[in-house]
Amino acid sequence: MNRKTQRDWIFKLIYEDSINKIENLDKVLENHNLSEETFIRESINSYNENYEKIEEILKNHLKKRYNRLSKVEKSILFLSVNEIYFMDIPHQVSINEAVELAKTYCNDNDYQIINSVLGKIVRS
């Protein structure tokens, strides 16, 4: 599975977690035939370990806008901030992938918000 497809799955799992907390990652990965995907497992584990730090980063940069974001937008931002801060993924790659996810799963121009927020986070 290529990295783009893996990120798509990671986004979906983070979104699922935002709706109904994932208690057993192994079972969820097995149900989706993703048990062998180590990047997905590492990313979700990192997201779980660093959830509070990621949320703090987003709240600090978004202020009041944080609460107005949709779960889809938040899931994309959580994925990207996790990659940039905690997984040593180059920020250009992570931002580009986040924008592509937003173009696929968000409303028309929401990708611009994702790009702007992540750009501000990286510059600070």
Question: What's the CATH number where 90 sits?
Answer: 1.10.940.10
Question: Mind listing the pLDDT tens digit for each residue in 39-79?
Answer: 999 999 999 999 999 999 999 999 899 999 999 999 999 99
Structurally, the chain folds into a number of domains equal to: 1
Q: Which domain holds residue 33?
A: 3-123
Which residues are within 8 A (CB) of 99 and not within 5 positions of it... i.e. 6 or more apart? 111, 114, 115
Higher-confidence residue: 109 or 15?
Answer: 15
pLDDT of 95 over the 90 cut: yes
Q: Helical H runs in the chain?
A: 3-19, 25-31, 38-49, 51-62, 71-86, 91-105, 110-123
pLDDT of 96 over the 90 cut: yes
φ and ψ of 54, to 5 deg: -65, -45
pLDDT of 108 over the 90 cut: no
